Structures are given as structure tokens and as C-alpha cells.
Amino acid sequence: MKRAWSRKNVWERTPQWAKAGLGRVLTRVSPALLLGRRFRRALRFVQDSERWPTERVEAYQLEQLRSICALAYERTDYYRRTFDAVGFQPGDLKSLSDLHGLPFIDKGTLREHLNEMCTASPTGRGVDYTSTGGSSGTPLQFYIGADRSAIEYAYLVASWGRAGYTLDQSQAVLRGQIVARNQAGLHHMFDPLLRRHYYSNFHMTGENMRRYLDHIRTIGPCYLHVYPSSAVALACYLERSGDAMPDNIRGVLAGSENVYAEDRARVEAVMGVRVFSWYGHSEKLVFAAECEHSSVYHVAPTYGYMELLDTAGRPVTTIGKQGEIVGTGFINRIVPFIRYRTGDFAEYRGARCDACGREYPLLAEVAGRWPQGCLVAHDGAMITMTALNLHDDTLANVVAYQFYQDTPGRAELRIVPNGKLDAAARSSILKRMNARLQEQVTLSLALRDELPKTRSGKLLRVMQEIPGVVRDGEIV
């Protein structure tokens, strides 16, 4: 995996003992200062642009589209060939609708033409190699600029501010990080730069959740930063145990999985705080988040250009109608994604929010690519698929993969390889995935020519066949 020399990458490589040693110093410094000038500049821009009128937004989007299309045409063989084939020149973009004359791209396009879609050398300084994690069952690797993290985090922080979050507040995180036991036997580690307390999403047994909540009570005013399924598991624990909700939790920031209305209602009823959610993806094309007053997603128009299209490729403009999200990103200038079909679908809710006044496209009922599913650990804890979202090259030589489980604590990882996988490659995949599962589930590996799909053609991430019913994080 290629990693650029960036502030984020260096910090992530810093050993935990060193981070802990720096904790007393870093917690006395403003997080905005620690996150750097690029982050502060991006945050100011995001906050200022939230109230732009439609005319200014469209002018900005047109400028960005011209820029990304010109870059793609001038520096990549793929886009030059594609644009020439349809008689398109970047200077031809006179309005946003002119973009609609370009063909779509999708994951297949990236896999086949990745190297000729790069505007810079993949081994160049400032270039990262990342992955979507294979949310549709088929992983995708691509290149991206290392500077995107500051911009991405600025959009997140600005959106979380609508729920009351500020950078100087702590976060209690249950989102799939690998968290070893500390000297007290608690799955916990602290990041002093981001003010984040990480707990293991892989070990959510009743006893561990009790200990997590007890520790959260000691960290001061904070927000839960979680997968929606993690929030549900905590709510279920609180219901079963009668344990009190920590009164220092100010809200729940839940993302990276679909947020279902019944789960939101349950968590809010049990915890007594708001569940705030957002939508985005590794390709950095479209970012959307709820506002202060509603749970409808507001699409940030300065992050990328979103199209919501029907099955015939026409823009969806009727409220209540569903379409596929197609995005052209403004952030990744190493591999431009121009009219990329995300495979995500959403319901159109209008072009302006009357509640908050933002002139943003509005979406609801977003059906993400990441299928719901869990593995059952040997102790009955539930491990969500999002927790296994690998943003590296573990599955670089795998066309598709799927888990099969019929016994708690054991599962079979079924993969369709891209060509031959020698014994060393198979061993590496198994070693990495088992390490990710923290000994909660032991995997075996099986090679397949194809994997079973649903009647609608979707590939399930987990074929779950454990006898009985999996309910509230326990097998009953």
C-alpha cells in the first residue's frame, strides 16, 4: 500500500505509546491549530459557503467542473480518448447541464483503466493508494491525493456543528478501529490530537459495553462517534441492563451505514439525545449531512457535483421519486472521477431546505452500497461488516468476496481471485483478515469461481446461517 508523507499518515503511524506521551501537551493546544492550516482554511470555506445563493453555488460548480475536466483531458490518456470520442472539449462547458453529454464511468472502468486515468505518477510524492473496501462485494483500489484528509474532515466537522459538536469536545468512538486491551483490561485507547477515545467495536459484549459506558462517564462532555449498528447495540444493552445513560453524552454522530428510522427512534428514545448522520464514500464525490432541524440529507454543492438520475439517465426533479447518485468529485485530482455511477440510490426531496434555509439538494432514504450483515463472535458479540471495511490492498487481487457462517466464532471467507493466488498470497489475506477480527472470529479461506447472489442480483456480504435468532447483539 502506498502512503504519502502527510500529517495524517505520519500521525497514524505514530505508536500508541508515543501518542499517549504527547497527550498532556496536545490536549492543551487547540485542535484546529494541531490539524493544520489547510484544515482551518477548508473549514472556513465550508462554513462560509453554506449560505451561498444558488447563483453563486452554480458558478462555483461550473468553475470546478471545467478545472477537473481540463486536468483530466490534458494529463490522462483515458479521458482525452473518451472526450474526443464524443466531441467534447473542457472549454465547451458553458452550463452544468453540458456535463450530461459525457459518458458514465463505474468501478469496472477504474479497474480496467486505472493507470491511464492518473494525472500524476502513482508513486509520486503526495499520492496515496486507497480502497473503497468492496461495499458491493467487489473491492476497488485507486489513487488519491494525501491532502484530501484535511478537506474531508473540514466538511465533517462543519456538519457535526449542526448537532452542537465543537472541536474541543471529546468523542467516544465505536467504528471498527483495532483496539487492544490496556493494562486495566479495557479495549480503549486515546488520540490526543482528535480528542478521541477509541473502544473496540469487535468486542461489544454486555460486560464490555458496561465498561465502555463507565469509562465514557469520565471523559467530560462528549459525542458518540459510531456506526449506527454500534449505537443500536449500546441502546439494546441499556434497555436490557437498566444501566443509566452517561449524562455527559451530548449526541450521537452515526455514519458509514444506513440509518433506519426505527433504529434512530430507538436510540434517541433510550439515550435521550439526537442521532445525527451523514453520507459519503471513499471516492470523495458526494458529501451530504443532516441539518439542525431535520434528518433529510443536505448535499454539499462545493464538495462535488451530484446528479440524481432515473433508469433512463434523466435528472430526477420530482419530489418523492428515486434515482441513482452519480458524482463528479472536486477533491481527488490524482484520479478524476467524472460522472461516476456510485450504485447508491436516494429519494429526491427538493433543492432547498425551508427549515434551515440552505440552498442544497435534499435527499432521503439513501440506500447505500454497504449491505447490512454481521458476523457472530465466539462470545456472542456482533461484528458489523463496516468494521471490516479495509482501506488497503489486502484484497487487491480479489474480484469478489463473501463470508459464510454457521457457527459462532468461526466463518469461511469465500473469495473469487483475480487470476491465480499462490499459497503466500492466500496466507497473507487470511492473516490480515484474522488480525482484523481480533480473535473474535476465526476465518478459513475458500476459493470460488463465483458467489451466490440475491434474486435482484445483489451480492450479500454475509451468508448467515447460524441456527436460532440473532437479536440485540445476542444469540437467543
What is the predicted pLDDT for the residue at 455? 55
Q: For residues 456 and 439, what is the distance between their CA atoms, to the nearest angstrom?
A: 34
**Any idea what the CATH number is for the domain that residue 422 is in?**
3.30.300.30
Model pLDDT for residues 160-188, shown as the tens digit of each residue: 999 999 999 999 999 878 888 998 999 99
DSSP assignment string, 210-221: HHHHHHHTTS-S
How many domains does the chain divide into? 2
Q: Are residues 356 and 412 in the same domain?
A: no
Q: For residues 51 and 67, what is the distance between their CA atoms, to the nearest angstrom?
A: 23
**Any idea what the CATH number is for the domain that residue 254 is in?**
3.40.50.12780
Model pLDDT for residues 99-132, shown as the tens digit of each residue: 998 999 998 899 899 999 999 988 888 888 877 7
Residue in 282, 283, 252, 253 with CA at minimum distance from that of residue 269: 252
Domain holding 60, by residue range, is 1-370
SS3 155: helix
Q: Are residues 421 and 303 in the same domain?
A: no
Residue in 223, 282, 215, 293 with CA at minimum distance from that of residue 254: 223
Give the model's confidence band at 454: pLDDT under 50 very low, under 70 low, under 90 confident, else very high.
Answer: low
Q: Are residues 208 and 244 in the same domain?
A: yes
Q: End of a domain among 343, 370, 397?
A: 370
Give the mean model confidence (pLDDT) for residues 447-458. 70
Are 174 and 187 in contact by the 8 Å Cβ rule? The answer is no
Q: End of a domain among 370, 391, 410?
A: 370
Q: Are residues 335 and 427 in the same domain?
A: no
Q: Are residues 348 and 398 in the same domain?
A: no
Q: Are residues 340 and 389 in the same domain?
A: no
Q: For residues 387 and 304, what is the distance between their CA atoms, to the nearest angstrom?
A: 26
What secondary structure letter does DSSP report for 162? G
Residue in 410, 403, 294 with CA at minimum distance from that of residue 358: 294
Q: Are residues 391 and 281 in the same domain?
A: no
Percentage of the chain beyond pLDDT 90 is 54
Q: Are residues 303 and 391 in the same domain?
A: no
Q: Are residues 426 and 363 in the same domain?
A: no
What is the predicted pLDDT for the residue at 79? 96
Q: What's the gap between Cα 381 and its chain centre?
A: 23
Strand partners, 170: 222
What is the predicted pLDDT for the residue at 31? 86
**Position 146, amino acid:** A
Q: Are residues 110 and 251 in the same domain?
A: yes
Q: Are residues 317 and 415 in the same domain?
A: no
Q: Are residues 14 and 36 in the same domain?
A: yes
Give the mean model confidence (pLDDT) for residues 188-194. 90
- What is the number of H-type helices and E-type strands within the chain? 12, 22
Model pLDDT for residues 197-215, shown as the tens digit of each residue: 999 988 888 899 999 999 9
- Cell representation of residue 456: 435482484
Q: End of a domain among 316, 347, 370?
A: 370
pLDDT score of 135 more than 80: no
Residue predicted with more confidence, 75 or 262 = 75
Residue in 277, 147, 309 with CA at minimum distance from that of residue 288: 277
What is the predicted pLDDT for the residue at 347? 92
What is the predicted pLDDT for the residue at 476? 34
**Position 349, amino acid:** R
Give the model's confidence band at 473: pLDDT under 50 very low, under 70 low, under 90 confident, else very high.
Answer: very low
